[in-house]
Amino acid sequence: MVQDKTFYITTPIYYVNDVPHIGHAYTTIACDTMARYKRMQGYSVRFLTGTDEHGQKIQAAAEAKGITPQALVDKIHMNFKDLWRVLNISNDDFIRTTEERHIKTVQAMFAKLIAQGDIYKGTYSGYYCVPDETYVPENAMGPNKTCPDCGRPLTIMEEESYFFRGSKYVPELIAFYEEHLKAVMPRVRYNEIMSFLKGGVRDQSVSRTSLKWGIPVPGDEKHVIYVWFDALINYTAAIGYLDDPEMFNKWWPHVRHMVGKDIIRFHCVIWPLMLLALGLPLPVEVIAHGWWTVDGDKMSKTKGNVVDPVKMVNRYGLDPFRYFLLREVPFGNDGDFSELALVGRINSDLANDLGNLLNRTLQMIQSYRGGVVPSCVEPASVLSGLFPEILSRVDEAMNNYSYDEALKIIWEFISRANKFIDETMPWKLAKDESQAERLSFVLLNLYEALRLSALLIAPFMPDTAKRIWTQLGQSGDPLAVQYDAFRWGDGAGANIQKAEVLFPRIDIEQWKKDREMENTAKIPEPPHEAEIGIEDFGKVEMRVAQITKCEEIPKSKKLYKLEVDLGYEKRTVCSGIKAFFTTEELVGKRIILVTNLKPVKLCGVESNGMILCASVKKDGKSEQLTLLMPEKDIPLGSRVS
Ligand code: MSP
């Protein structure tokens, strides 16, 4: 049977109200790598990503900002588009659920399902998670009626609703999965979906009357279509379901969805049931990856530990970041993101293994053969013998979406090449004229190992592959080389370029100091104080004053006793700033004083006011501190407002 070389891969479409983080970056980089890999294998590839722009949260966020939801999504969907540019994502299309092509497709499918009786009207009542926009079945609720996914309290909702008769197609879906064991990957997710399906699936409520920001139900505009029913359809809308049958039929039978494990029920139950009802083929594969935590914690805005991919790329470079995400965690498992682990990988795998192999090889070709790759009579070696096996193992791993495994195999090859240098000791051969042929054999083999390694890593690290390629004196783009041409022995005669360091080693001690500095300088995120009105603020009287005297208080490690001049009177104030200033530094400074605080006694001294400072605190203790001072001269006693 001739294998059909068509491959359509999709990311989930991202909620625009979230700030893009490493979780989103991960799904998209994994798809990008697969798309690039398949293109090199000669497949026709289509790679789709996009944004999910309807729903309660957007409506609420727009209301809070006083703008229309459309204006809001027009602006914030760009966060994702911009990130994909930074991450060198090679998507062919980007779909937004507010685009006309999408809205029309959703309405047409909804109308078709109503017409054939697979969508009907009823009343829905159930426990609903407002932030997640999903009803939660009673048997799946968390303790005290909370959402099992996010832990927040559920509310009872009752509304007239359209229902999708998905239950009707469940036996057909089970039969499909029984025949297609790789339709849900990895196996643990397949089992999860099968047992869920066998437990029975109720008809799904697919419209809301409580929400405005969504796609109206055709012919019944007080309902909008439920966000998930709307969102899933993007995969078909983007390839011309409605108006381009040729395009649709080319790609749809070859579709693969990559998703996080949290959204597999939507993709492996609801979506296939919808497709069966619509008479469309089911996805070839739905691949579910695990979740990233950060230093052992769940990422969340409130914890302030959300990792920004752009920051990581700026700090470590794009390809090391891509490499780390795909190499660190067995695909499908959860993973923990730690910058220290990323630095470890850069130093060992990238700088040491790959970087050194390139550097040593190029330097030897330069010194011993004037920068021209030699030929030799019998080029077969342990490396050339190993390569075909490496190639087929990488292919097998990639067919299972085992990115980490594929990278491990490629690095086995790189390590073998490094060992080959140690075994053959070219620097010794170079000193002995009679070993010239053997030296050529060694250099050619190392060159070939590098040339083929560059091709193998190209889908994962496209820029690095290109940099190696150029240094090796090869022309064009390694990504344009087709898999069929991954053959040993094309290198002889190439003129290499000057060796340049691919990945500078990171000095761990310096890195630790930098991170410490950064952490102490980190301003804690919320909780902020509750909002106050201007009338509350007006109750605080603050004035410009000058410090005229400063004395230590013998009983106190922290406090100074200060005399301050307000122009119209002098006061004594105690201030806990001893750790940051000498007495001489303070005398003469013009500061801002809160003048209407009730007097307090501190270490036996009555304090009549408070000096304003800004500080960075850690564990409740100030680590950095500065006085707030007027920017220009202004009479003492002037009021601050
Ligand atoms: N809009 C829906 C998807 C609709 S698809 C028809 C959605 N969006 S999302 O922005 O919340 O999530 C998109 C993807 O990011 C999901 O695959 C999700 O698993 C992934 N991730 C979000 N946080 C993640 C981690 N912390 N770690 C790994 N991936 C995570 O769901």
- Measured CA to CA, the distance from residue 491 to residue 305 in angstroms comes to 47
pLDDT at residue 1 in the model: 45
- Which sign does the torsion angle of CA 180, 182, 183, 186 carry? positive
pLDDT at residue 525 in the model: 53
The one-letter code for the residue type at 574 is C
- Measured CA to CA, the distance from residue 554 to residue 560 in angstroms comes to 9
Q: What are phi and psi of 388, to 5 degrees?
A: -60, -35
3-state secondary structure of 260: strand
Q: What are phi and psi of 197, to 5 degrees?
A: -65, -40
CA 68 vs CA 18, 56, 144, 288: distances in Å: 18, 13, 36, 35
Contact 166, 204 (CB under 8 A): yes
Residues of the chain with pLDDT under 70: 1-3, 521-528, 618-619
Distance from the CA of 371 to the center of ligand 1, in angstroms? 49
- Measured CA to CA, the distance from residue 93 to residue 102 in angstroms comes to 13
- Measured CA to CA, the distance from residue 237 to residue 10 in angstroms comes to 12
Distance from the CA of 611 to the center of ligand 1, in angstroms? 48
Contact 212, 67 (CB under 8 A): no
Q: Which ligand 1 atom sits nearest the alpha carbon of residue 24?
A: 15
Name every residue whose Cβ is closer than 8 Å to that of residue 428 and which is 6 or more positions away in sequence: 435
Q: Which ligand 1 atom sits nearest the alpha carbon of residue 231?
A: 6
Pocket of ligand 1, candidates 26, 27, 264, 286: which has the most ligand atoms within 8 Å of its Cβ, to mutate?
27
pTM: 0.81
Ligand 1 binding residues, C-beta < 6 A = 12-15, 18, 23-24, 26-27, 52, 231-232, 259-260, 262-263, 291-292, 299
Residue owning the nearest CA to atom 16 of ligand 1: 260
Q: Which ligand 1 atom sits nearest the alpha carbon of residue 14?
A: 10
Per the rule left: phi > 0, alpha: psi between -120 and 50, beta: everything else, 291 is beta
Residue owning the nearest CA to atom 23 of ligand 1: 23
Q: Which ligand 1 atom sits nearest the alpha carbon of residue 18?
A: 10
Distance from the CA of 599 to the center of ligand 1, in angstroms? 54
- Measured CA to CA, the distance from residue 27 to residue 260 in angstroms comes to 7
Distance from the CA of 26 to the center of ligand 1, in angstroms? 10
Distance from the CA of 14 to the center of ligand 1, in angstroms? 6
How buried is residue 243: exposed, middle or buried, by Cβ count under 10 Å (0-12/13-18/19+)? exposed
Residue owning the nearest CA to atom 18 of ligand 1: 260
Distance from the CA of 266 to the center of ligand 1, in angstroms? 12
pLDDT at residue 624 in the model: 82
Residue owning the nearest CA to atom 7 of ligand 1: 14
What confidence tens digit (pLDDT) does each residue in 524-555 have? Answer: 555 567 778 888 898 999 999 999 999 999 88
Distance from the CA of 619 to the center of ligand 1, in angstroms? 33
Average pLDDT of the chain, as a whole number: 93
Q: Which ligand 1 atom sits nearest the alpha carbon of residue 261?
A: 19
Q: Which ligand 1 atom sits nearest the alpha carbon of residue 262?
A: 19
What confidence tens digit (pLDDT) does each residue in 130-147 have? Answer: 777 777 878 789 888 999
Pocket of ligand 1, candidates 102, 263, 264, 291: which has the most ligand atoms within 8 Å of its Cβ, to mutate?
263
Residue owning the nearest CA to atom 29 of ligand 1: 23
**Please, how many CA atoms are within 13 Å of residue 263, restricted to the half-sphere of its CB?**
20
Pocket of ligand 1, candidates 11, 15, 17: which has the most ligand atoms within 8 Å of its Cβ, to mutate?
15
* Domains detected in the chain: 6-290 (3.40.50.620), 343-485 (1.10.730.10), 539-640 (2.40.50.140)
pLDDT at residue 148 in the model: 84
Distance from the CA of 601 to the center of ligand 1, in angstroms? 55
Residue owning the nearest CA to atom 8 of ligand 1: 14
| Spatial CA neighbour of 440 closest among 363, 358, 368, 383 | 368
Q: DSSP strand E in 23-75: where?
A: 44-52
- Measured CA to CA, the distance from residue 446 to residue 356 in angstroms comes to 12
Distance from the CA of 490 to the center of ligand 1, in angstroms? 43
